[in-house]
Amino acid sequence: MKKIQYTLAILLISAVTMLQAQSNTYMTYSMGFGMGDLGDFISKTSFRGAAIDYRKLVQPNVGVGFNLGWNVFYEDKAFDTYTSGTESLSGRQFRYSNHIPMLLNADYYLNPGEKVSPFIGLGTGVMYSRRNTDMNLYTVQEEAWNFTLCPEIGVQFNSNISSATTIMLKYYYGLKAGELDEAQSYLALNVGFVFRQP
């Protein structure tokens, strides 16, 4: 009976410790820089983006959680004759590319608890990509659910026990899928706030 009581006590203490583990919620503004096929389709920098990240600290220097983001790329192409396959059309093109990554992440913090804490991380999951080309009365839409890898580096500036600011650089690489026959990749520069739950 005592073994059961000790086991239950240890499990209870472990559960309470896990529940009390600190968590970080990141709310950031995101700028995107198209790479590869996406960069060829739209060469302009994206200033339309946002992300929410959550990390539960399972160790003082290790956080696991998720990343949910949205970046919109846009470019207004000059009047020209554009050819696709055997068809040509003259006019202005309006190009859009929306990317919504949904990833599971793990981060490693190099100086936890210090005023300046750099970190590295890796995310994996899926990214919904939708590309639109509008020209005159016509539109072409291509969609894909890309399997995605996302290495990241960043710095957290800890101002007090409950909040911080952060800057992160993420590289989203979505493998070719669906109607997009090339990988979709971009760099995202995120800046924003961190809210902590003790």
Which of residues 146 and 162 earns the better pLDDT score?
A: 146
pLDDT at 198: 77
SS3 12: helix
Is residue 196 scored above 60 in pLDDT? yes
Mean pLDDT over 38-48 rounds to 96
Is residue 165 scored above 60 in pLDDT? yes
- What is the residue-averaged pLDDT of the chain? 89
Domain 22-197, CATH 2.40.160.20 — does that match?
Answer: yes
CA atoms within 13 A on the CB side of 184: 31
> Phi then psi for 38, rounded to 5 degrees?
-65, -40
SS3 38: helix
| Tokens linked to 103 | 């990833």
